Amino acid sequence: MAVQINPSILSADFARLADEAEAVRGADFLHVDVMDNHFVPNLTLGVPVVESLARATDTPLDCHLMIEDPDRWAPQYVEAGASSVTFHVEAAAAPVRLAREIRAKGARASMALKPATPIEPFEDLLPELDMLLIMTVEPGFGGQAFLDIMLPKIRRTRELINKHGLELWLQVDGGVSASTIERCADAGADVFVAGSAVYGAQDPAEAVRALRAQAEAATAKASWACDH
Ligand code: DX5
Ligand code: ZN
């Protein structure tokens, strides 16, 4: 699968979301961080904003739900126009049922792991998912430092994906920048969320292109992506 770059609008100007979406034309998805001030200590936006943003841009929306009770709320984000919906496994009561419901409603189903949540207990569940998100910071805020200690988890997850021959995308989110994206790609990530590294740049579209070029070059050299 080709490298994908998903700018996080958490670092954009919330008063100008349509313009900020346009500023990263060429991105694969817009990453939309939904926070409820319970699952994480921060509050961002909800279904009405996602509905408006979906109408305002052609770029598909990748909604990352950092909320409690995603079993109840996630389907509404599909109805609001999200192309991909990510719930946290730590918050989901029935992750398999929820992933199936998201898919049945027509979106890609994705599951996120906080830094302290291991991948191994979820090996049998991976075929139910279209994407797995490995958080590389504690969820809640943009602009945090990348956690290097997540690299072995990314590597082990890529091994599981290859072992089972899955089409699962492997996303990383948190502290992804020009100085960390190559290590993520080398470890096995293929979908990269970047907030401050894109919207903090002079030219956000150029930042997306540069990150993509770095990730593509690192993937081409990575052992996990070789045919042999
Ligand atoms: C953090 C969010 C991230 C955040 C990343 O909880 O899930 O998507 O926007 O921001 P950066 O790229 O600045 O770490
Ligand atoms: Zn996110």
Domain ranges of the chain: 4-227
Say how many C-beta atoms besides its own lie within 10 A of residue 92's C-beta.
Answer: 20
Tell me the CATH number of domain 4-227, given options 1.10.30.50, 3.20.20.70, 3.10.50.30, 3.30.160.60. Answer: 3.20.20.70
Amino acid in position 204 = P
Q: Model pTM?
A: 0.98
* pLDDT at residue 226 in the model: 78
Q: What is the 3-state secondary structure (H, E, C) of 67-115?
A: CCCHHHHHHHHHHCCCCEEEEECCCCCCHHHHHHHHHHCCCEEEEEECC
Q: Is 142 annotated as a binding residue?
A: yes
Q: Is 31 annotated as a binding residue?
A: yes
Residues with CB under 6 A from ligand 1: 8, 10-11, 31, 33, 64, 137, 139-144, 173-176, 193-197
pLDDT tens sequence across 125-135: 999 999 999 99
Residue listed under structure tokens 């690192």: 218
pLDDT tens sequence across 46-104: 999 999 999 999 999 999 999 999 999 999 999 999 999 999 999 999 999 999 999 99
* pLDDT at residue 110 in the model: 99
Q: Could you say which DSSP state residue 197 is in?
A: H
Q: In angstroms, what is the span from residue 10 Cα to ligand 1's centroid?
A: 7
Q: In angstroms, what is the span from residue 227 Cα to ligand 1's centroid?
A: 32
Q: Is 165 annotated as a binding residue?
A: no
Instruction: Looking at the CA of residue 143, tell me the nearest atom of ligand 1.
Output: 13
